[in-house]
Amino acid sequence: MRDHTPDFKLHELSDDNKALIRQTVLQLLEKLADDGKLSEDSLLEFWVEVPGVKRPRGTFRGGFLMPDSFIYITDYFRCVLSGQNGLEPLDPEGNGDSCVERTLNDLLDELYYQVEIFTSPLVSSKGVTLELWAGNRMRPEGEWIYAVDRKVELG
């Protein structure tokens, strides 16, 4: 059996880039929650544009944009149902000590890791553009029913 795993070395994102991504994700999640649009299939998707790397943006057969990756937001948060819009962290281990900050950090750790994979061929993430969407699609690859998005350039 051959190992087809690509040979790459991850370069950890800088603290500034992590802070920029965190701020952007928080804005998207707050908007999604404030609009009352968080549902069981809400996604946080991203697309990484790497300068100098020619790679066409992929599409599925229906012509939908194929994201680099996505995370189900509801693996980490649920919408507060008490008449107030907002996010409430899940407590998957049943410890009774769910914490928004810890849950957000778990979500961000996963996102940072995935972005680091896509930027691994580069020595520096300078000039890399990260597009982030949060919202709901008909399926992960389907048309957006509701979305908020931001595009940031990593430094």
Question: Residue 70: which of 30, 33, 122, 28 has the closest Cα?
Answer: 28
pLDDT confidence tier of residue 15, bands split at 50, 70 and 90 = very high
The per-residue pLDDT for 85 is 56
Question: Residue 125: which of 62, 57, 67, 52 has the closest Cα?
Answer: 52
* C-alpha dist (Å) from residue 29 to 67, 85, 132, 134, 147: 18, 11, 11, 7, 11
Q: CA angle, corner 103, sides to 100 and 106, nearest 5?
A: 150
The per-residue pLDDT for 109 is 94
Highest mean pLDDT among 9-13, 27-31, 80-84, 137-141: 27-31
Q: Rounded distance, CA 131 to CA 46, Å?
A: 5
Q: What stretch of H or E contains 109?
A: helix 100-118
Higher-pLDDT residue of 51 and 152 is 152
Residues across the chain? 155
Structural domain boundaries of the chain? Answer: 15-148
Q: What is the pLDDT of residues 24-76, one digit of tens each?
A: 999 999 888 888 888 888 899 988 887 776 665 655 555 566 667 889 898 88
pLDDT confidence tier of residue 81, bands split at 50, 70 and 90 = low
pTM as predicted = 0.81
Q: Percent of the chain scored above 70 by pLDDT? A: 74
The per-residue pLDDT for 82 is 47
Neighbouring CB atoms inside 10 A of 142's CB total: 12
The per-residue pLDDT for 122 is 74
Token pair of 137, please? Answer: 């699609």
